Structure 1
Amino acid sequence: MTDLWSGLSQAFWLVVTADAELAEIALRSLHVTLTALVLGCAIAMPLAALLAVRRFRWRRTVIAVLNALMGLPPVVVGLVVYILLSRSGPFGVFGLLFTPTAMIIAQMVIIIPLIASIAHQSLRDLWQDYHDLLISMNVTQWQKIRTLLWDARRALLTAALAGFGRGIGEVGAIMIVGGNIDNATRVLTTAIALETGKGDFALALALGIVLIGLTIAVNLCIHWLGQTEREGRW
């Protein structure tokens, strides 16, 4: 119990004093996850809207695959991305392995199916209300997609938030493609795993506190944006 309280007090001190190493790792985590989130949303949300408004032969199969990929094991994603980016892989010439870019790619592969599946459920319901109106107006496919995405923006924030939570807490795939290199690819989750293995529980706890704090802060920001928009309508 004494060791626990000692670790907690040291962790609290590291957070309060904004330890340089702690701040660097936290900022890198935010950079990687937010970049993956923005790029992932740019792909997943239009795809979800397209699946809602367009009817084609393999539509149900695509939706089923997206739903299945929500539970894709991150270590498998890491392995596949590693093979693709390795020197013997098709994209090895770019030298992306063990860089933040590789970590962003891995996180995108993980969160895109999740965001697309959650967004599709909201957009599908909204399309049922808008179908007759938009068809009667004879708008283009892109205009339908744009209208759905705009009017469902509050619901899509929830999908983005789910993607952020999945990405910021990822460790397996990130460890494989990033290598957990100090001052280069070390992020909060991989650093927690490393420091716990080394027995440095104070730093591991401090990293954990920061990770939880970032997650809560983003959740509060999303909630505030939703509330602000709702109030703005009245």
Structure 2
Amino acid sequence: MDFLFDSLKTALALIFSFNPEVYITVWTSLYVSTIAIVFATIAGVPAGVAIGLGRFPGRRIVITLLNTLMALPTVVVGLVVYAFLSRMGPLGRFGLLFTPTAMIIGQIILATPIIANYTLGALSASDSRIMPTALTLGASTTRGTMVLLQEIRFGVVAAIIAGFGRIIAEVGVAMMLGGNIRGVTRTMTTAIALETSKGEFAFGLALGIFLLSVALLINMFLNFLQQR
């Protein structure tokens, strides 16, 4: 118990003394995940709406594939993207491997199926008369889609939050594509794994407190939306 108490005291001291390494690591995590979730939203929400409103051959297969991609292992994503971005890969000439950009690409791939699937679920649970009514009243397809998104906006926000929660806490993509470079690509999760293995438990605990705080805020906001 003394070990845990001393570690917690040291971790709090690191936080409240604004230790630069702690805050740079936290900032890197938030920066990478925020950029990734923006692009994942741009791709995932329209994809979910298109699948939900579309009636095309193989739609059920697409939905099944989307459900499968939600549980995509992060190390598999890291492995595939690594193959593309490595020097011998087709995109190797751009030098993206072991940069925040590489991590963002990997996290976009992780978050997009989640956002698309949650959006599809919110759309399926909505009133099926919304779109036909809008079209009957003279709205264009684009306008009708916007009205529909307005109606399911809380579900879409929940989808975005779920996607962000998935990528902010992942390790595989950040480690394999970012390289865990100090001050550049080291995130909270990779730093916790590294520092704990080095015996720096207090440093890892400080980052763990930040990570839990982010998760708590995300869940509080999601709960607020569900109550609405």
Query: Which of the five TM-score ranges fits, normalised by the shorter chain?
Result: over 0.9
Partner of 1:119: 119
Q: Which amino acid aligns with 1:187?
A: T
The SS at the match of 1:128 is coil
Which stretch of the first structure deviates more once superposed, 28-37 or 9-18?
A: 9-18
C-alpha distance after superposition, 1:24-78 (max 9, x if no partner): 1001100011111111011100111111112111222211110111111110000
Q: Aligned residue pairs: how many? A: 228
The SS at the match of 2:49 is helix
Give the 3 Å change call, closer, same or farther, for CA 202–168 of structure 1 in structure 2.
same
Partner of 1:49: 49
Partner of 1:110: 110
Question: Do 1:84 and 1:92's aligned partners in 2 also have CA atoms closer than 8 Å?
Answer: yes
For structure 1, list consecutive stretches of 5 or more residues without a partner in the other structure: none
TM-fit CA distance, 1:101: 0.5
C-alpha distance after superposition, 1:130-161 (max 9, x if no partner): 14313423544333322222221111111111
| Separation (CA, whole Å) in 1 of partners of 2:33 and 2:219 | 14
Matched, 1:31 2:31: yes
| Separation (CA, whole Å) in 2 of partners of 1:159 and 1:69 | 15
Question: Do 1:82 and 1:177's aligned partners in 2 also have CA atoms closer than 8 Å?
Answer: yes
- TM-score, normalising length from structure 2? 0.93
Partner of 1:155: 155
Partner of 1:169: 169
For structure 2, list consecutive stretches of 5 or more residues without a partner in the other structure: none
Question: Do 1:40 and 1:112's aligned partners in 2 also have CA atoms closer than 8 Å?
Answer: yes
- TM-score, normalising length from structure 1? 0.91
Q: Which amino acid aligns with 2:19?
A: D
Question: Do 2:103 and 2:174's aligned partners in 1 also have CA atoms closer than 8 Å?
Answer: yes
Q: Which amino acid aligns with 1:151?
A: E
| Separation (CA, whole Å) in 2 of partners of 1:128 and 1:11 | 52
TM-fit CA distance, 1:90: 1.3
Matched, 1:210 2:210: yes
Partner of 2:195: 195
